[in-house]
Structure 1
């Protein structure tokens, strides 16, 4: 059996991604052409997602419709897999191992956040913020509160957080400021949509050698390593009950909430 996947490229505001959907409009997943992250909405769809991405990159078109085998059957051959990894950056490509995901060993931030859903959390990916093409990578809503979550990848580099400053390999970057502004924007839109007295915090998940230095200056943005994602959110004190979580998540899943 075959399914037809449509691949579209999205390039705005420094982002460069491929989005893949089925004929029904259901999203299969995305490929970040800058960081190399491959995100499948369902792990069994990952093979089709990779094959469609590889075909798109070879075709050099603006949009591609590709028949592929039913998810879960077949795999990329060695040449195709090597070519796709080369395009996306090779060694640090954060792939999802299907057997590992099923066994609970998936490594992406997306997968780690989704594992929290069994513990009362809800997560929404790629939230379209406003009409300028900005995306919130992950919006997490649960007992510990409401959080925007962004991943920043610097494998092998030293990342130092000291109060309100964050440095990567000795160079100051604006991740904390950006996360704070994003969280404030999300909070404002949720308030406008009817979520009274809601607070939103920004979270930056880093892939690198993270050092959190004690500081008298408190930062509103939370920084954590990718490996600590689940444990960090589990440690947070309960601020929202299950009914409040469900109500905020319902509002957050409405497209109208974010189109203002």
Structure 2
């Protein structure tokens, strides 16, 4: 089954990186153009990440879309780069654009939406951060089109295979909570959100560590949350989130 990789250059908060994503929106990884550091989201993705970055640098464009042939064992066994097309400047992959656009619908209601926030000095990247009257949320998406997701209080199983999604969400939530609290000088409670591109099977229980939902329920899932933060606290947290120094500790 054929697919594509999207390579885009990300410059913000003093960072300069090449970010590579699948057409599903799932990130393959990124390369720090200043230090040369390579960060992959899966061990089998490094070869595709390197090749995609090389093609991007050779092409000298704002963004590349590279055709990929997916094998049965690994999504990046074969990268076909002989047909390269440029995407419109600022474009994102289909899944990222869809989720990001859905979150942006909350802005008129007083929410702040940040995307691709670098966290810490070790190359961490926060996909989406949502701050508003209904609280503070870290949001990460995972693409498993056509797969079945079974939820329990302590885990997420995709097609019978356990994942580390809840553990990773907890670690990210705790880190963001600490950084925002230290910068804003107020108590900050962050809720982790996992957005799945999959069929979530009906179960009597849901994970306690994170809110798990599907992309089609965004942004309505946040609109249903009653206001819980005072306007002054929201502004303090928003201001902290917008400071580069908050995230580079």
Give the TM-score normalised by the residue count of structure 2: 0.67
Moved over 6 A (4+): 56-59, 87-90
1:86 matched to which residue of 2? 68
Deviation of 1:212 (Å) = 4.8
Q: Unaligned stretches of 5+ in structure 1?
A: 1-15, 39-55, 69-75, 91-97
Deviations 1:112-150 (A, max 9, x none): 111111111101111111111011111110111001000
Deviations 1:158-186 (A, max 9, x none): 01112222100011111111101110111
Deviation of 1:34 (Å) = 8.3
Q: Unaligned stretches of 5+ in structure 2?
A: 28-49, 77-87
Deviations 1:83-121 (A, max 9, x none): x3436979xxxxxxx9xx9xxxx9621111111111111
- 2:53 and 2:9 map into 1 onto residues whose CA distance is 15
The answer as to whether partners of 1:162 and 1:212 remain within 8 angstroms in 2 is no
Superposition pairs of residues 41-80 of structure 1, within 5 angstroms: 60=54, 63=57, 66=60
The reply on whether 1:150 has 2:132 as its aligned counterpart is no
Give the TM-score normalised by the residue count of structure 1: 0.65
- 1:136 and 1:164 map into 2 onto residues whose CA distance is 22
Q: Secondary structure at the match of 1:167?
A: strand
Q: Secondary structure at the match of 1:155?
A: strand
The reply on whether 1:205 has 2:183 as its aligned counterpart is no
2:235 matched to which residue of 1? 246
Indicate how the Cα distance of structure 1 residues 86 and 138 shifts in structure 2: closer, same or farther if over 3 A, else same: same
The answer as to whether partners of 2:26 and 2:141 remain within 8 angstroms in 1 is no
- 1:113 and 1:224 map into 2 onto residues whose CA distance is 13
Deviations 1:210-246 (A, max 9, x none): 125222x760310000100111001112112333223
RMSD: 3.8
Q: Secondary structure at the match of 1:108?
A: helix
The answer as to whether partners of 1:152 and 1:207 remain within 8 angstroms in 2 is yes
Deviation of 1:35 (Å) = 5.1
- 1:254 and 1:165 map into 2 onto residues whose CA distance is 34
Deviations 1:185-214 (A, max 9, x none): 111111111341110011000001112522
Deviation of 1:18 (Å) = 3.6
Deviations 1:32-64 (A, max 9, x none): 1585569xxxxxxxxxxxxxxxxx968836845
Q: Secondary structure at the match of 1:240?
A: coil
The answer as to whether partners of 2:20 and 2:52 remain within 8 angstroms in 1 is no
